[in-house]
Amino acid sequence: MRNEEVFEAVAAALKRGEPSALVTIIRAQGSTPQRVGAKMLVFPDGRTVGTIGGGCYENEAFWKARTAIETRQPVIAKYELADDLAEDSRLICGGQMEVYIEPLEPAPALYLVGAGHVSYHLAKAAHAVGFRLHVIDDREKFANAERFPDAEEVVVDSIPEWLTQAILPAHAFAVILTRGHRHDLDALRALAPKQLRYLGLIGSRAKVARIYEALEAEGMPPEQFRRVHAPVGLNLGAVTPQEIAVSILAELIGVKYGKIDTDASDAGERQAQSLRWSPDSATEVTVGG
């Protein structure tokens, strides 16, 4: 398969909003199944497009690629297959090879549940940094294309009914910003059981606690609350809707780049993580040798 087909698959995956990992041979020496530049695209469900030669190297790289999708960290894998390793793994080949495994993340989908003032300002800022916007509210006065011109989707519908039926991708971000306690409760009831990259809930700690207590009384497992970032946003002392939107966006960016844990149970550690910075680098992994 030519690399052109791999590139076409990459473009299609990014357009669909589907994450993947691109495996590229960056060094080859001795007897290797493919030359430098050969590529393979790996999807979370195990589908692949392209090949780096099959057999001894490809299976190892395939599993590392699936791990890279989960960790969102690039990896350089070095394969130096000695005879004993080849025999143990039932892989018969020789030579050395290095592959660069690059996780590819599409522009993340951001679902704004509620179309009020904070949502309005958050939508503007989030679109500017690459989030794909979806807005849901039951009030056409607030949820409309004039207020959210950059949104891919503006839904005017019953919030809990729409959220219950909607299929949100596992890599999506969602922020609950409705106009009241009852609507927040309904939205969290629908969203908490879903597998999402990020789920945030606006409100004071007292309000959040009351919502959690109500849902737990209904039978919702407490562990489902561990992934909810509530109160939503970094603790920047924000007061105005514009400032609150900035604090939320800062948290979204932190989660996007792995600087803030998606497990929101330890808010203090989450805040501390957001203030740490370290340069991104690829992890090197050597197999055999």
CA 146 to chain centre: 29
**pLDDT tens digits, 5-23:** 999 999 999 988 889 999 9
My answer on whether 237 and 224 are in the same domain is yes
Task: Express each pLDDT in 85-98 by its tens digit.
Answer: 445 445 555 678 89
For residue 142, give both structure tokens. 């607030």
Residue 180, domain CATH: 3.40.50.720
Please state the rounded mean pLDDT for residues 182-209. 95
Does 83 have pLDDT greater than 80? no
Summarised one tens digit per residue, pLDDT across range 202-258 is 999 999 999 999 999 999 999 999 899 999 999 999 999 999 999 999 999 999 988
Of the listed ranges 92-106, 161-175, 202-216, the least confidently predicted one is: 92-106
The verdict on 100 and 114 lying in the same domain is: no
Q: Residues 163, 101: one domain? A: no
Which among 226, 223, 228 has a CA at the least distance from the CA of 201?
228
> Are 148 and 171 members of one domain?
yes
Whether pLDDT at 109 is above 90: yes
Residues 29 and 85 reside in one and the same domain: yes
Pairing between β-strand 283-288 and β-strand 39-42 as defined by DSSP bridges? unpaired
Q: Look at residue 284 and tell me whether its pLDDT is greater than 90.
A: no
Cβ neighbors of 171 (< 8 A, separation 6 or more) are 17, 19, 105, 106, 108, 109, 197
Tokens 């300002």 correspond to what residue? Answer: 121
Please indicate, yes or no, whether residues 89 and 22 belong to a single structural domain of this protein: yes
Which of 239, 232, 289 minimizes the C-alpha distance to 264? 232
Is 60 a member of any domain?
A: yes
Confidence of residue 62 (pLDDT cuts 50, 70, 90): very high
Distance CA 20, CA 48 (A): 9
- Percent of the chain residues topping a pLDDT of 90: 67
Q: For 90-110, what is the mean pLDDT?
A: 82
CA–CA distances in Å: residue 243 to residues 42, 132, 133, 234, 253: 40, 21, 19, 11, 15
CB 22 within 8 A of CB 102: yes
Same domain, 126 and 85: no
Tokens representing 69 are: 């999708």
- Residue of 153, 171, 164, 169 lying closest to 192 (CA atoms): 164
Give the Cβ contact number of residue 58 at 10 Å.
20
What is the chain's alpha carbon radius of gyration, rounded to the nearest angstrom?
22
Question: Tokens for 76?
Answer: 């350089």
Specify the number of domains making up the chain: 2
Pull the structure tokens for residue 245: 């939107």
Residues spanned by the domain of 240: 109-256
Per mean pLDDT, which range of 79-88, 186-195, 246-255, 257-266 is the poorest? 79-88
Note the pTM of the prediction, 2 decimals.
0.76
- Do strands 20-29 and 96-104 pair parallel, antiparallel, or not at all (unpaired)? antiparallel
Nearest Cα neighbor of 110 from 216, 231, 197 is: 197
φ, ψ at 46 (rounded to 5°): 100, -5
In a domain, residue 118? The reply is yes
CA angle 30, 34, 35 (to 5 degrees): 75
Which residues partner with 201 through β-bridges? Answer: 176
Q: Return all residues near 213 (Cβ < 8 A) that are at least 6 apart.
A: none
Is residue 214 included in any domain, yes or no? Answer: yes
Compute the mean pLDDT over every residue in the chain, rounded to the nearest whole number: 86
Q: Are 133 and 123 in contact (CB under 8 A)?
A: yes
